[in-house]
Amino acid sequence: MAMELVWLGQGGFLIRCGGASICLDPYLSDSCERSGGHTRIAPAPLDPASIDADVFVITHDHMDHLDEGTLRQIDLTAPLFAAPASCRRHLRALGVPEDRLLSFDRGEEFGIGDAELHAVFADHTEDSIGLIVRAGGQTAYFTADTLFNPRLQEEAAPFAPDILVPCINGRWGNMGAQEAARLAKGLNVKLAIPTHYGMFAENTADPMDFVREMGAERCRVLTMYEPALLETEG
């Protein structure tokens, strides 16, 4: 069965595959604005309390990825939380029980349902990660926030990803469209889905710049909160 993605905005996704539901980096509040930062220009597509996920994966400890405003609205005792060390410390402080925390540092992996999840290098914070998900004969690579670095391709290539979901905003420690397309072409992915734009006016990009770099036949631009089945055969 094809992997299903629901884009939650910024770098957030619901990923359904292999009988599992995975929530990646949900930012569904206005925490950044309330802390004196940036105002969201895209409304939250759903109520955090409605998220029914088996596991939350947090890639790094920045507010638009590990969002207290979102996490405080869910039952922290029910799902698993997989994250690198700096995020696990933050999650403990929020009240996530120790038996719901999974160590998910670079090079670590775990299974849920019939899905495999692997943490790989990201060039953003000291211990930030990217995420590789394998299920049903498909492999998707979510770069999360990262600068372009040859190590991204080196670590992802052994997994032979069909799908790449790269950041494209090109500022604040992230790749731009041209660099993201370079990574996609280097990995020879069948499908590329740009992300990390359209949330803050000061930190956005035009996804069509990435499409032009890649070629439309290998790209898909998602609409927030519209489920998308990712067909990659052929």
What is the CATH T-level fold of the domain 3-221, as seen in this structure?
Metallo-beta-lactamase; Chain A (3.60.15)
pLDDT recorded at residue 37 = 77
What dihedral do alpha carbons 159, 157, 206, 202 form, nearest 10°?
A: 90
Q: Model confidence over 42-64: pLDDT tens digits?
A: 988 889 999 999 999 999 999 99
Domain ranges for the chain: 3-221
- Taking the C-alpha atoms of residue 113 and residue 110, their distance in angstroms, rounded to an integer, is 10
224 pLDDT band, cuts 50/70/90, is confident
pLDDT recorded at residue 217 = 87
233 pLDDT band, cuts 50/70/90, is low
pLDDT recorded at residue 123 = 98
Average pLDDT, the chain: 94
CA-atom Rg of the chain in angstroms: 16
- Taking the C-alpha atoms of residue 130 and residue 122, their distance in angstroms, rounded to an integer, is 5
More confident residue, 192 or 225: 192
**Position 225 pLDDT exceeds 90:** no
Mean pLDDT of 150-164: 98
pLDDT recorded at residue 203 = 84
Mean pLDDT of 5-10: 94
Q: Model confidence over 106-148: pLDDT tens digits?
A: 999 999 999 999 999 999 999 999 999 999 999 999 999 999 9
Contacts of 154 (CB under 8 A, 6+ apart): none
Q: Among 148, 157, 103, which residue's Cα sits nearest to residue 127? A: 103
pLDDT recorded at residue 33 = 85
Mean pLDDT of 67-80: 95
Residue whose structure tokens are 């909160």 = 225
pLDDT recorded at residue 35 = 79
What dihedral do alpha carbons 80, 16, 119, 223 form, nearest 10°?
A: -120
174 pLDDT band, cuts 50/70/90, is very high
pTM above 0.85, yes or no: yes
Burial of 139 (0-12, 13-18, 19+ CB in 10 A): buried
pLDDT recorded at residue 95 = 97
